[in-house]
Amino acid sequence: MEINKRPTRLGRPPKHEDRNTRERILDAAIELFARQGIAGTSLRQIAQAVGIKESAIYAHFEGKEALCPAIFARFGPPAAVVDELLASDSSTIARSRPEVVLRDMAQRVIARWNEPQARLFLSLLLREGMGGSEALMRPAKQLVLDLLTPIVRQWMEQGLIRKDFPPELLIWEFLAPLTLIRISYWHAQATEEEVELGYRLAERHIDYFLRIALIDKTSNV
Partner DNA sequence: TATGAATGAGCCTTCATTCAT
Partner DNA sequence: GATGAATGAAGGCTCATTCAT
Q: Which residues form the interface with its own copies (CB under 8 A)?
A: 1-3, 5, 36-40, 63-65, 68, 123, 126-130, 132-134, 136-137, 164-165, 169, 172-173, 176-177, 179-181, 183-185, 187, 189, 194, 201, 204-205, 208, 211-212
Give the CA count within 13 Å in the CB-facing half-sphere of 80: 24
**Of residues 175, 176, 154, 172, the one with CA closest to residue 163:** 154
Binding of DNA at residue 7 (CB under 7 A)? no
Select 82 or 175, whichever has its Cβ closest to its own copies. 175
Binding of DNA at residue 43 (CB under 7 A)? yes
Select 96 or 168, whichever has its Cβ closest to its own copies. 168
Binding of DNA at residue 45 (CB under 7 A)? yes
Select 90 or 189, whichever has its Cβ closest to its own copies. 189
**Binds DNA by CB under 7 A, chosen from 3, 87, 89, 218:** 3
Distance in Å, CB of 127 to DNA, minimum: 15
SS3 state at 56: helix
**Binds DNA by CB under 7 A, chosen from 1, 2, 8, 164:** 8
Distance in Å, CB of 74 to its own copies, minimum: 18
Binding of DNA at residue 56 (CB under 7 A)? yes
CA distances from 176 to 87, 129, 130, 159, 182 (A): 22, 19, 20, 24, 10
CA dihedral for 96, 82, 105, 214, sign (positive or negative): negative
CA distances from 84 to 107, 120, 140 (A): 10, 19, 12
- Residue 214 carries which DSSP code? B
Binding of DNA at residue 18 (CB under 7 A)? yes
**Of residues 57, 58, 115, 59, the one with CA closest to residue 83:** 115
Contact partner at residue 151 from DNA, its own copies, none, CB < 5 to 8 Å by partner kind: none
Which helix (H) or strand (E) element contains residue 96? none
Q: Are 71 and 124 in contact (CB under 8 A)?
A: yes
Q: With CB under 7 A as the contact rule, which of the stretches 6-14, 104-112, 120-128, 211-219 interacts with DNA?
A: 6-14
